[in-house]
Amino acid sequence: MKKVVIYIFLLLSLCGVFTVANIKLNKTTDSNSKTLIIYNWGDYLDPKLIKKFEKEYHYKVIYETFDSNEAMFSKVKQGGTNYDIAIPSDYMIQKMKSAKLLKKLDKKQIHGINNIDNSFLNLSFDKNNQYSIPYFWGTLGIVYDKRMPENIQPKKWSDLWNKQFKKKVLIVDSARDIMGMSLIDLGYSVNSKNDTQLIKAKKHLDKLSPNIKAIVADEIKMYMEDNEAPVAVTWSGEASEIMNRNKNMTYVVPKEGSNMWFDNIVIPKTSKNQKGAYDFINFMLDPKNAAQNANYIGYATPNKFAKKYINKEQIDNKELYPKKSTLDNLQVYNDLGKKYIQKYNDLFLEFKMISN
């Protein structure tokens, strides 16, 4: 069978349809392929937009998902799949750049970057946006049931340690976020590489353990929607979805500070369809497409012209689109390096073991 395929391809090449250099007998795609392989977080792109993109640009989209930046990094580094688009977070973009896993963007092929608010461009993890284009941004904060008495409603990180919340607090299963929450509550940086501070942050979390109902991932939305817990630590987009489905819930970003994260579109070094990758970037930079995605996902868009198309309830929510005084207290994650990423993970695992 393989010989027949080779014969046909060689025959076509004589007619000028293919060149020998372009013959591919494996499952990867070449630069002229009409297949686009996207690697993204789960449920982080409106499926209707995928269909719209396929129809407008005549590509077949293969959509694969990951559940952590680290898992995404490992898969891209292994190179088993030639992803054309990936959507990592801020600190992981730094790491991917250092590992030479990203293609430098050709700005001449990008149309609509002026639609992005300047405050989301030229950030520390990718100066001059040489490798990435803003996709979504958001915060880490607290979702709580606003029916509870005003005097115990959690507005600060320290409120989570209130004994009245015994076995009532849900937290996301994320070492960086939960260690960061504890570090901030102690007055430290979310990017601390001070071993003493990290040990203190872990011991501080240990004191929170009696209040932990569960450490979960996507299930946090279901639990909060069903009133299974009155308090949760999660990301702003998850909070938006929870509030849409359960009107008793509200979201707050603690004024003492939190994490402000950015997810950006990048083109991995192994991409075999760069034209398709740029077409996708330009498609997502269109204000109406960006707004449709924001309405579906619930996270904040960096596209300033998309805001007029976003649901009013969402765009008017000052916790999802915080004011400057709140933004000024937020911290962005840096790439800590392998040694300290492992320390954060190990300390968080120890906390999880005593909290289960």
| Burial classification of residue 303, based on how many CB atoms lie within 10 Å of its CB (0-12 exposed, 13-18 middle, 19 or more buried) | buried
Long-range residue pairs from 50-54, CB within 8 A, at least 24 positions apart, any chain: 52/289, 53/279, 53/280, 53/283
Q: What's residue 6's pLDDT? A: 34
Residue 19 is predicted with a pLDDT of 33
Question: Using CA atoms, how far apart are residues 213 and 160, in angstroms rounded to an integer?
Answer: 12
Closest Cα partner for 136 from 3, 260, 270, 283? 260
On the CB side of 64, CA atoms within 13 Å amount to: 17
Check residue 313 and give its pLDDT. 86
C-alpha distance from residue 228 to each of 114, 145, 173, 217, 239 (Å)? 43, 11, 17, 15, 15
Give, as one character, the DSSP assignment of residue 301. Answer: P
Structure tokens at 52: 């719209």
Closest by CA to 350, choosing from 168, 160, 205, is 205
The secondary structure element, H or E, covering residue 245 is helix 236-245
Q: What is the mean pLDDT of each run of 10 residues along the chain (356 residues)?
A: 36 37 36 84 95 97 93 94 97 96 98 96 95 97 96 97 97 95 98 98 98 92 94 93 93 94 97 97 98 94 96 87 88 92 96 90
98 contacts: CB under 8 Å, gap ≥ 6: 335
Tell me if 30 sits within 8 A of 37, measured CB to CB: no
What are the angstrom distances between the C-alpha of 123 and each of 119, 133, 183, 295? Answer: 8, 11, 23, 25
**CA 310, 314, 316, 318 torsion: positive or negative?**
negative
Q: Express each pLDDT in 246-297 by its tens digit.
A: 999 999 999 899 999 999 999 999 999 999 999 999 999 999 999 999 999 9
The predicted model scores a pTM of: 0.82
Answer left, alpha or beta for residue 264, where phi above 0 means left and psi between -120 and 50 means alpha. beta
Question: Would you state the pLDDT for residue 218?
Answer: 79
Q: Decide: helix, strand or coil at residue 138.
A: strand
Q: Which of 330, 316, 320 is nearest to 255 (CA)?
A: 330
Q: Quick one: pLDDT at residue 217?
A: 82
